[in-house]
Amino acid sequence: MAAQQQLGREHQGITLRGSAELVAEFFSYGINSILYQRGIYPPETFTRVQKYGLTLLVTTDPELANYLNNVTEQMKEWLYKCIVQRLVVVISSIESSEVLERWQFDIECDKTAKDDNGPREKSQKAIQDEIRSVIRQITATVTFLPLLESACAFDLLIYTDKDLAVPAKWEESGPQFIANSEEVRLRSFTTTIHKVNTTVAYKKDSVP
């Protein structure tokens, strides 16, 4: 498999494993950006890194980083198996535990990629350009999303295929929808194997 991956890189194409890695990496940076931009954690617990030609902020809190890493690793595996349908970042108020914001990443897997082993024709640069524009949009959402007045916590939900055996440490959950929400669709990107559509839903202001 490693040899194939090597081959894929050389040909400037993309393999299933490479695609899974790219998408999982995108989720890691995307979630970090959301947590920073929405002020879920104090800004001083984030550090700057260069990625996708952007300066992104990544948490330095060891416990949070570990949690995100666990999820990302699991996502990578499921992406590779093409059994994941959606990743949702749920932001809810700690006090009332009301869901205030819901970041939804719909994943369309091209399941035929599991069978044919050849790499797809799309350069890593083209994919990264697409990812960059999605991350830029996440950063820009602060301007229109309503202010999170109370202290908030976040949760990650992953929609998988029905026949998946639930791994240890994981549990089933409800969809945690927002009552009376407004939705904004962001850009999407594709690795030709995985396509990710991003939408953010937020609670409508009670006062119009």
Partner 1 sequence: MAQFLFEADLHGLLKLDTPIPNAPPARWQRKAKESGPGPSPVCVSPMKPANRSHSSSKTPSKTPGKSGSKIQSTPTKAGGDRYIPNRSTMQMEMANFLLTKENDPAEESPTKKEQQKAWAVNLNGFDVEEAKILRLSGKPQNAPEGYQNNLKVLYSQKMTPGSSRKNSRYIPSMPDRILDAPEIRNDYYLNLIDWSSQNFLAVALDNSVYLWNHATGEIIQLLQMEHPDVYISSVSWIKEGNYLAVGTSSAEVQLWDIQQQKRLRNMTSHCARVGTLSWNSYILSSGARTGHIHHHDVRVAEHHVATLAGHTQEVCGLKWSLDGRYLASGGNDNLVNVWPCTQGGGGDFAPVQTFTQHQGAVKAVAWCPWQMNVLATGGGTSDRHIRIWNVCSGACLSTVDAHSQVCSILWSTNYKEFVSGHGFAQNQLVLWKYPTMTKVAELQGHTARILNLTMSPDGTTVASAAADETLRLWRCFEMDPIKKKEKEKANSAKSSIIHQSIR
Binding of residue 153 to partner 1 (CB under 8 A): yes
Q: Which residues of 12-139 form beta strands (DSSP E)?
A: 46-51, 54-59, 84-93, 99-109
Of 42 and 208, which CB lies nearer to partner 1 in the complex structure?
A: 42
Closest CB 177 distance from partner 1, rounded Å: 7
Choosing from 14, 23, 34, 40, the residue that interacts with partner 1 (CB under 8 A) is: 40
User: Which tokens is 17 given?
Assistant: 């494993």
Separation between Cα atoms, residue 85 and residue 158, nearest integer Å: 8
CB proximity list for 204: less than 8 A, separation 6 or greater: 180, 181, 182
* CB-CB contact of 140 with 38 (8 Å): no
Residue whose CB is less far from partner 1, 94 or 184 = 94
Residues 20-39 that bind partner 1 (CB under 8 A): 39
Distance CA 6, CA 171 (A): 36
Is there binding between residue 7 and partner 1 (CB under 8 A)?
A: no
Chain residues 70-89 in contact with partner 1, contact rule CB under 8 A: 70-71, 74, 85-86
Closest distance to partner 1 from the beta carbon of 51 (Å): 21
With CB under 8 A as the contact rule, the residue among 133, 142, 185, 205 that binds partner 1 is 142
Smallest gap, in angstroms, from Cβ of residue 95 to partner 1? 11
Q: How far apart are CA 80 and CA 99, in angstroms?
A: 30
Q: Check binding of 159 to partner 1 (CB under 8 A).
A: yes
Stretch 42-71 residues interacting with partner 1 (CB under 8 A)? 42-43, 63-64, 67-68, 70-71
Encoded one letter per residue, x for contact with partner 1 by CB under 8 A and - for no contact, window 163-192 reads: -x-x--xxxxxxx-x---------------
Q: How far apart are alpha carbons 78 and 164 in whole angstroms? A: 10
CA distance 122 to 12: 7
